[in-house]
Structure 1
Amino acid sequence: MINDNDVIETLDELETFLRLVENGGLGLENVAGVAGVAGVAGVALATNNSDGRPFVAVLDDNHQLLLGRYVSNDVYENGKDMVRYGTKKPH
């Protein structure tokens, strides 16, 4: 589910979102590869097939969308390493 009202506009907002996912702060279950892993394997940047809008996707063990948030074009272009490798700051 992607909520149109919750657009991630900055890299700081993306980092906060990823930390919540990494730490289980969103109450999501069966997030693929996130718990106890340095990177966030269950999170990906993608684009919506119908309108091309970029979003960050949280995926379950079966690679099904659990949660999505639209992101700005700047976050989509510059947040790829953060999504790919996880946040670097201590939790």
Structure 2
Amino acid sequence: MINDNDIIETLAELEAFIRLVESGALGLENATGIALATNNADGRPFVAVLDQNHQLLYGRWVSAEVYENGKELIQNGLQKKH
């Protein structure tokens, strides 16, 4: 499910979204991964929360800038800040 009204516009917003997913604050059961993807119908980029079968549990649209520049953040995960 993707909420059309919520677009992640910055890397800081993407990081905050990842933190929400990782903390369990969104209440998603069986969430095992996060990926950047594009919609097959129109090519629009989004961040996807996936289950163990790689099925979409939750998604948020992202800007083109976040899609291009957030790949490393998704691949490497959040760095622990001391």
Q: TM-score surpassing 0.5? A: yes
Please give the secondary structure, in 2, of the residue aligned with 1:66: strand
Bigger helix share: 2
Structure 2: give runs of 5+ residues left out of the alignment.
none
Map 1:33-52 to 2 at 5 A.
Answer: 42-52=33-43
Instruction: Tell me which residue corresponds to 1:55.
Output: 46
Name the % identity. Answer: 72
Structure with the largest fraction of strand: 2
CA RMSD of aligned residues (A): 1.2
SS in structure 2 opposite 1:7? strand
Length-normalised TM-score, structure 1: 0.86
- AA matched with 1:29: E
- List gaps (5 residues or longer) in structure 1: 33-41
Q: Deviations over 1:33-66 (max 9, x none)?
A: xxxxxxxxx0000000100000000001111100
Question: What TM-score comes out, normalization by structure 2 length?
Answer: 0.95
Structure 1 outlier segments of 4+, above 4 Å: none
